[in-house]
């Protein structure tokens, strides 16, 4: 049958715009559209500003004829669409960012001439991007991985990028090994999997042949690699930097970001289920916190030391696989970082932001850390490849917010060029900027000497002592998590000799750890310990600051309670619960059998945030079970309700419950005899206050040996 040549009704621009006739829009300062109470709908234009008459149909010869090549609007529109995706980052591809500010506490003129540290209360605009390292842009948030913690500070003397991680050490000592590390941890090139996972042969083969990685492995196999939220993790500059004051005097420094809300991680079993329930869990958490005015905050702290301390320290401060324990050198608070605004557009800002370790203002300088030196060399190439032009600094998110003047010109996508006759200096016309020996960046005048050689210093040779110190500094439960993580990861390795080599390194860290992993893998015989370049130190003091559990916040602020309700929920208890959570600075979500909500005992309607199928307990820091007795029979038929209770108990969370909810525990395989201090009956507002008061402990770790969930 021949197709009709009659145009389809409702495909004109006028018909399309009729569906939004009641919207009133205006264009903001940044070009974005805002709905307003009055005003006309702006005319759609091409990128050149030409008004568009029809955005629904391409230009054709007749209604069914061929499309004409002269349709410049279609050509421009499809051309731009075809080029919407830029190459994703090789590492740190999965990222999320926010705007905010850094506020200096007091002048730090003794140590640095950097402008942002000269005045008390000085506020510097900031943009922060959090990320995973190994996965692609489409991977899930709760992969076991290092988290990038990159801070761009728009100072009055240029941009300063502190491009760090949530772990203070790294896998390698020299940047020349970075391509090998990343090739190894990424998906295997022949199969193109696994995605965003280190649990495969290539990664562990590389690690087993690279002893310098063993300290970092302890961190990555710990709960630090599965944080509960960006808001609950530390950040580190990783390397040793220099501060330089107005007299040209240098002080070594390590940068620490301490979260105001304290540290918190999840269990591995929990992380796997969160990835299934909400792969955007970390993104959603940051977005929600900022949108609701609960602005995340970190304190910047300096570990400051001189050359004499560096010479006396047990390890080389230029070795990125080592840290300085906070008990040995307490960090000094210098300011706070607050995130208070989400980007107006993810791509324009979070995706196009370009961080580079070499971006420092006068007063900040580098050490000879070979990993840092390599990063300083590499990052410019990275941005050129990703953003397609040496003019990536013209993109607003990357542009300085202070005045800037230079003679750089032309190139792909140049947004601004020098004005005037002279595009060089020196020139005879008195045009353009000139250098300033007084104000400009001047590197610290260190003296260097020595032969040109490809080698590592002997002071970098101890690969196991700090790994041992980190492991022994964890609580018993945290050490168990490290062992379980190693067993899981190595169980995915198909080559037996690789598994054995890793265990041989573990023998140099801790005999019991190696034995747990060897037993968990079913090794027929334990290998001998790997050769250590230098004897492993047995005398390093444990550092409580390295444990997440030992440094818990002891408050529920910033956390979220999941409240399971049904029709007939006790209105008095629910109100008391909401009030108590508000006083703690915590939030909650209502989970009901239906997303529409439920009617409470007073006849009031309660809007639900989630239906039970979409709100599993892994999304919450604790749960409260408040169903009415009449609803229990129906809830017992729901497998998701069983999982809601079983997972919360297995993940050592606090559980508040009304008497009617007790059968839900039995359905989840939890007898009343198994109830512990974390399972709290709620019969009155007083019980509710007691329950909320205990939530600051976050977990009931004494339960873990009984439930055996990792």
Catalytic positions are: 92, 165
Pair 622, 680: CB distance under 8 Å: no
Omega before residue 153 within 30° of 0, cis: no
Length reported for the chain: 710
DSSP for 348-406, please give it: IIIIT----TT---TTEEE---HHHHHHHHHHHHHHHHHHSSGGGGGSTTTS-SS----
Kindly state the tokens that stand for 551: 């440094």
Q: Kindly state the DSSP code that residue 105 receives in the 8-state scheme.
A: -
Q: How far is CA 112 from CA 246, 330, 428, in A?
A: 7, 19, 36
Q: Is 63 helix (H, G, I), strand (E, B) or coil?
A: coil
Q: Among candidates 628, 688, 640, which has minimal Cα distance to 668?
A: 640
Give 3-state DSSP helix, strand, coil % of the chain, rounded to 5: 35, 15, 50
Strand partners, 308: none
Buried b / exposed e across 453-485, counting CB within 10 Å, b at 16+? eeeeeeebbbbbbbbbbbbbbbeebbbbbbbbb
- The beta-strand segments (E) located in 476-581 are 560-564
Kindly state the tokens that stand for 650: 């297995």
Q: Among candidates 648, 646, 681, which has minimal Cα distance to 665?
A: 646
SS in 3 state form for 214-254?
A: HHHHHHHCCHHHCECCHHHCCEECCCCEEEECCCCCEEEEE
User: CB neighbours (10 Å) of residue 682?
Assistant: 23
Q: Is 597 helix (H, G, I), strand (E, B) or coil?
A: coil
């Amino acid at each position: 049958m021949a197709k009709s040549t009659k145009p389809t009704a409702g495909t004109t621009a006028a018909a399309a715009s009729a569906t939004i006739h009641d919207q009133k829009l205006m264009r903001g300062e940044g070009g974005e559209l805002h709905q307003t109470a009055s005003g006309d709908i702006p005319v759609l234009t091409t990128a050149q500003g030409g008004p568009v008459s029809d955005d629904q149909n391409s230009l054709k010869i007749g209604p069914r004829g061929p499309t004409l090549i002269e349709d410049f609007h279609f050509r421009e529109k499809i051309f731009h669409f075809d080029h919407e995706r830029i190459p994703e980052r090789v590492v740190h591809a999965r990222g999320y960012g926010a705007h905010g500010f850094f506020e200096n506490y007091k002048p730090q003129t003794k140590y640095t001439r950097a402008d942002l540290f000269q005045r008390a209360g000085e506020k510097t605009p900031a943009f922060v991007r959090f990320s995973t390292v190994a996965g692609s842009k489409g991977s899930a948030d709760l992969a076991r991985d290092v988290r990038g913690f990159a801070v761009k500070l728009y100072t009055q003397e240029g941009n300063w990028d502190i491009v760090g991680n949530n772990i203070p050490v790294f896998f390698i000592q020299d940047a020349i090994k970075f391509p090998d590390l990343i090739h190894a941890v990424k998906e295997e090139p022949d199969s193109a999997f696994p995605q965003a996972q280190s649990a495969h042969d290539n990664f562990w083969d590389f690690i087993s042949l690279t002893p310098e990685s063993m300290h970092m492995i302890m961190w990555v196999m710990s709960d630090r690699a599965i944080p509960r939220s960006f808001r609950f993790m530390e950040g580190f500059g990783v390397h040793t930097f220099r501060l330089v004051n107005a007299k040209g005097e240098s002080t070594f420094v390590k940068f620490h970001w301490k979260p105001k809300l304290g540290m918190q991680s999840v269990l591995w079993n929990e992380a796997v289920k969160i990835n299934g329930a909400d792969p955007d869990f970390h993104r959603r958490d940051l977005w929600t916190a900022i949108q609701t005015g609960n602005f995340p905050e970190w304190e910047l702290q300096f570990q400051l030391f001189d050359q004499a301390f560096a010479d006396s320290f047990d390890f080389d401060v230029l070795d990125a696989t080592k840290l300085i324990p906070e008990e040995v050198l307490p960090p000094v608070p210098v300011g706070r970082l607050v995130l208070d605004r989400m980007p107006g557009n993810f791509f324009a800002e979070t995706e196009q932001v370009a961080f580079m370790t070499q971006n420092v203002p006068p007063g900040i300088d580098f050490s000879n850390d070979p990993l840092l030196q390599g990063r300083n060399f590499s990052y410019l190439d990275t941005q050129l490849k990703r953003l397609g032009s040496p003019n990536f600094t013209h993109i607003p998110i990357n542009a300085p917010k202070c005045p800037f003047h230079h003679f750089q010109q032309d190139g792909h996508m140049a947004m601004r060029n020098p004005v005037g006759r002279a595009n060089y200096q020196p020139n005879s016309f008195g045009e353009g900027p000139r250098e300033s020996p007084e104000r400009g960046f001047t590197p610290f005048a260190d003296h260097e000497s020595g032969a040109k050689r490809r080698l590592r210093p002997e002071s970098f040779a101890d690969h196991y002592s700090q790994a041992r110190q980190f492991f022994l500094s964890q609580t018993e439960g945290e050490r168990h998590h490290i062992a379980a993580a190693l067993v899981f990861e190595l169980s995915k390795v198909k080559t037996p000799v690789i598994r054995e080599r890793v265990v041989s390194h573990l023998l140099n860290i801790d005999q019991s750890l190696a034995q747990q992993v060897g037993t968990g893998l079913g090794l027929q015989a334990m290998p001998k310990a790997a050769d250590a370049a230098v004897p492993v130190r047995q005398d390093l003091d444990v550092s409580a600051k390295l444990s997440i559990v030992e440094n818990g916040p002891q408050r529920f602020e910033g956390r979220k309670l999941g409240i399971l309700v049904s029709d007939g929920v006790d209105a008095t208890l629910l109100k008391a619960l909401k009030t108590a959570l508000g006083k703690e600075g915590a939030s909650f979500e209502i989970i009901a059998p239906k997303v529409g909500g439920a009617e409470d005992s007073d006849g009031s309607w309660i809007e639900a945030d989630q239906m039970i199928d979409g709100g599993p307990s892994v999304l919450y820091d604790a749960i409260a079970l408040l169903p009415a007795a009449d609803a229990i029979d129906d809830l017992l038929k729901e497998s998701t309700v069983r999982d809601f209770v079983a997972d919360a108990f297995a993940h050592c969370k606090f559980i508040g419950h009304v008497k009617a909810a007790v059968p839900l525990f039995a359905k989840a395989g939890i007898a009343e005899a198994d109830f512990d201090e974390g399972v709290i009956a709620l019969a009155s507002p007083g019980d509710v206050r007691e329950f909320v008061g205990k939530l600051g402990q976050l977990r009931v770790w004494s339960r873990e040996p009984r439930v055996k969930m990792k």
